[in-house]
Structure 1
């Protein structure tokens, strides 16, 4: 799943970046190189301006592939916006008159313009600019939805994983394997507190932080209050007995407290 997530994210980022460049390409196509030379690169040398203009993609050459790739990605990530995205490109079958509001990118690609009986321009290619801007905006909204969905998926997957690990801890506890039961519960707490730190953009400099380090970071970041900090630290002390203490064995009551405390932390620290 992680590979697919990264691939979708990279493809979406690339399409958004290309869309922003194509916006400039559309303006260049409509206004011409002279306009850009005088109004955008006025203080640049001719060679600098020419080199910059050369890097701008030609809208009519590159739009179609961008549109097809964007449509394919939207089918995967934001299917409820496909019709909106397509409608900004395709000529509506029910259209009788061409106005600024129903001019689409297909019209632009065919250099379509509408004039009055007196030869005055009624609708020109500039009517396609807001349509294309809206397409790019839909892609950007897909990115927000995508990131939100991935966050939700990861939370659900992690919650299921934690539940299964707590069940394993309880099974070991019932069979008298107290240290092993406590060790598993401690790992669950560490992973959860690390995720909470990530969610709140709290940076941890230590390579492999334990519960105490993560707990203190959350307190310093005002994510948890002092009573919760103390409770977490108490649970961390029991976990240390299970993991590290050679002179003291954890009692059944302590491990029970550790498992119950793990469940509480998962519900209350977020």
Structure 2
């Protein structure tokens, strides 16, 4: 039985060293993010812009944290992680500015400051986050 298990462990080790487990993680994460962004779109179409912005913001922050993890950047506040990722060249300053703007919409939504954004802002936020997530998981 030990010999049979050895083959399983060796295959798992090979998958891990080949980066295949990371690919599986990305596939699962892409599916989860897709579902969450679909929820955000549905909430937005039903008139719940604040809830949609908060959910989209969670997807954004989780993606940023995963990028930090992948590039050995310490976790911190979103602004700091965003700056560190741009500083290391993971993405450019234009993307960094967009992420800062989306984080601002998310924070305004979470704190009930609905006068600071509108439905179109949230719609753009969701669409841009969807593209950003797709580009990071590719």
- For the aligned pair, the TM-score class normalised by the smaller chain equals 0.7 to 0.9
Which residue, 111, 114, 129 being the options, matches 1:262?
129
Contact preservation (8 Å) 2:50, 2:112 = no
Q: Counterpart of 1:201 in 2: which secondary structure?
A: coil
| 1:74 corresponding residue in structure 2 | 7
Q: Distance in 2 between matches of 1:158 and 1:247?
A: 30
Q: Distance in 2 between matches of 1:178 and 1:77?
A: 49
1:193 aligns with 2:64: yes
Matches within 5 A, 1:42-61: none
Query: Where is the helix percentage greater, Structure 1 or Structure 2?
Result: 2
- Segments of structure 2 that go 5 or more residues without pairing to the other structure are none
Matches within 5 A, 1:93-242: 142-147=12-17, 148-204=19-75, 206=76, 209-210=77-78, 212-242=79-109
Tell me which structure has the larger Cα radius of gyration.
Answer: 1
Deviation string, structure 1 residues 94-137 (Cα, Å, up to 9, x no partner): xxxxxxxxxxxxxxxxxxxxxxxxxxxxxxxxxxxxxxxxxxxx
- RMSD of the TM alignment (CA)? 2.1
- Segments of structure 1 that go 5 or more residues without pairing to the other structure are 1-67, 79-141
| 1:53 corresponding residue in structure 2 | none
**How many residues in Structure 1 have an aligned counterpart in Structure 2?**
136
* Distance apart, 1:260 and its partner CA: 1.1
* Distance apart, 1:153 and its partner CA: 1.5
Deviation string, structure 1 residues 165-198 (Cα, Å, up to 9, x no partner): 0011111011001100110000000001111111
Q: Distance in 1 between matches of 2:49 and 2:114?
A: 15
